[in-house]
A and B are shown apart, each in its own frame.
Chain A
Amino acid sequence: MNARAALLIAGASYAGLQLAASARNLGFEGRIVMVGDEALPPYQRPPLSKGLLTGKSTVESLPVKSEAFYSESGIELLLGRRVATLAPERQQVTLDDGSSLEYDWLALTTGARCRPLPVPGADLAGVLEVRTVDDALRLDAAAGGARHACIIGGGFIGLEVAAALAGRGLRVTVVEALPRLLARAVTPQMSAFVEDLHRRNGVGFAFGQAVAALHGDNGKVCAVELASGERIDCDLVVVGIGVIPNTGLAEAAGIACANGILTDGLGQTSAPRVLAAGDCAAFPNPYAPDPALPIRLESIQAANDLARAAASLLVGAPQPYAAVPWFWSDQYDAKLQMAGLMAADDEAVVRGDPASGRFTVFCLRNGRIAAVHTASRPAEHMLGRKLVAAGASATAAQLADESFDLKSLLA
């Protein structure tokens, strides 16, 4: 292949795809090459912990764009390949097959990998993680023959998998090291709602417990041992304890990293002409409790919107990231949605009755709406994004009063 690309994208992911697509939409005409280490072109990840496990989604429906999109847009895909080393000073990379490519611009959209469980027995058969389509298919197959699943980690992935497996009739136990579920992302009020939702669906919990070891029988997992000594018998373990950003390439090349490749609001790294976006990138977010501190947001929205910002830079019309962070999680029939970024000391105000299954929790910070978390109230979520974007002022009394018209806060 010819040795130079105008835009070389390392990582065939949401961020990588959005960067390529937005660059073309904005009129970027140079050669675009996207390298991905999986066999599939960029594909949807949300169904991996939901529809692919419940039967609602198929592998065929996962790719985000059709093959025709890439050819029509002039985006060359190099799949099943990996960028091995970077030489930013020469604007060159080497691939894992030994070939090299020069670039005008390089984008690192390498994503993240699952954090491994650092205990004995973690490599037993039946101990799975969920990050790729292959992982999901493995889990789907294992679930078919399993009776009791133990999910390690009460975050979004763990809980979505718990919901899917409970829906398939498995007995499910979730082990969470912190005192409540989704502790990093939602208020105690929302944690309580989610826990209750799962308990009503037969899921059991162990809180404030670390895992000491996984035990096996003939090489296959048969129990999870907690730090307390308590054992949970199971024949399937799913580990969802977070991800580690894939910063190896950047670090080896001397590019600044700190829990992610550090970028500004346009995706620019410390190396000239090297951009980063997606799960591997950490950047200062205007909606964070500390807007100056780089944070790594693990969401499709953050990946796509930083990628869009980076694309605007490529065509010389820079529009830095400014989008309200938002996220969603579907568990059973509940649609959980989050807008804005919560801080631990925000004042939480509940609107509506959690027992009804549809309610909202507002996070007030210095008299302004900083985050809005909803359960099965999509209209309030959409309004919540606007309220957060506007930094709308409100009192707790107004937010808690269902007869108070929230739209008036935008006037």
Chain B
Amino acid sequence: MPTINYILKDGSTRAVDAPAGLSVMEAAIRANIRGIDAECGGCCSCATCHVYVDEAFLDRLPPADDMEQELLEGVAAERRPTSRLSCQLPMSAELDGIVITVPATQA
């Protein structure tokens, strides 16, 4: 079962099991990771599931489509080149061990 390593706001790391197909956002919500919200439940409508993806994994992700790009413009925390909306990132074996950093705020 693939693992996601979330770096939390306090700097600590939590490793979470995430079956292939579940999004990085869903895995976070299920595991009660603080700092990743999902106001719209994962349908790319609210930008509250914003995360920073470890550079080493960035290329293995499907590219952000226009909707996601637009929403990334409106994220509350600093937008970085590694910014993605985690509801758009489905887990796979390829992404095992991915490091996801929780931003300072989603509001």
A64–B29 contact, CB under 8 A? yes
B74–A379 contact, CB under 8 A? yes
Please pick, from B22, B32, B74, the residue contacting A382 in the complex, using a CB distance under 8 A. Answer: B74
Please pick, from B22, B32, B74, the residue contacting A61 in the complex, using a CB distance under 8 A. Answer: B22
Q: A44 CA to B22 CA in the complex, in Å? A: 15
Report chain B residues within 8 Å CB of A382: 47, 71, 73-74
Closest to A64 in B: B29
Report chain B residues within 8 Å CB of A376: 67
Report chain B residues within 8 Å CB of A66: 30-32
Q: A46 CA to B43 CA in the complex, in Å? A: 9
Contact A379/B73 with A300-B41, A301-B39, A328-B45 known, Cβ cut-off 8 Å: yes
Check if A168 is an interface residue, CB within 8 A of chain B: no
A65–B30 contact, CB under 8 A? yes
A378–B31 contact, CB under 8 A? no
B32–A69 contact, CB under 8 A? yes
Report chain A residues within 8 Å CB of B29: 64-65
Contact A304/B39 with A61-B22, A69-B30, A379-B74 known, Cβ cut-off 8 Å: yes
Q: A25 CA to B46 CA in the complex, in Å? A: 22
Contact A377/B70 with A61-B22, A300-B39 known, Cβ cut-off 8 Å: yes
Contact A383/B32 with A61-B22, A378-B44 known, Cβ cut-off 8 Å: no
Q: Report B56-72 residues with CB < 8 Å from chain A CB.
A: 67, 70-71
Report chain B residues within 8 Å CB of A335: 44-45, 67
Report chain A residues within 8 Å CB of B73: 379, 382
Chain B CB within 10 A, most for which of A66, A330, A383 = A66
Q: A328 CA to B46 CA in the complex, in Å? A: 9
Please pick, from B30, B41, B46, B47, the residue contacting A44 in the complex, using a CB distance under 8 A. Answer: B41
A378–B67 contact, CB under 8 A? yes
Report chain B residues within 8 Å CB of A381: 45
Q: A55 CA to B73 CA in the complex, in Å? A: 30
Q: Smallest Cβ distance from A164 to chain B, in angstroms?
A: 14
**Mask of B8-52 contacts with A, CB within 8 angstroms, 1/0:** 000000000000001000100111101000011101111100000
Closest to A380 in B: B70
Report chain B residues within 8 Å CB of A345: none
Please pick, from B22, B32, B41, B70, the residue contacting A378 in the complex, using a CB distance under 8 A. Answer: B70
A328–B43 contact, CB under 8 A? yes
B22–A68 contact, CB under 8 A? no
B32–A73 contact, CB under 8 A? yes
Report chain B residues within 8 Å CB of A337: 45
Report chain B residues within 8 Å CB of A328: 40, 43, 45-46
Q: A379 CA to B64 CA in the complex, in Å? A: 14
Report chain A residues within 8 Å CB of B74: 378-379, 382-383
Residues of A within 8 A of B (CB): 25, 44, 46-47, 50, 61, 64-66, 68-69, 72-73, 300-301, 304, 328, 330, 335, 337, 376-379, 381-383
Residues of B within 8 A of A (CB): 22, 26, 29-32, 34, 39-41, 43-47, 67, 70-71, 73-74
11 pairs across A/B with beta carbons < 8 Å?
A46-B40, A47-B41, A61-B22, A65-B29, A66-B32, A69-B31, A69-B32, A330-B43, A379-B71, A379-B73, A382-B47
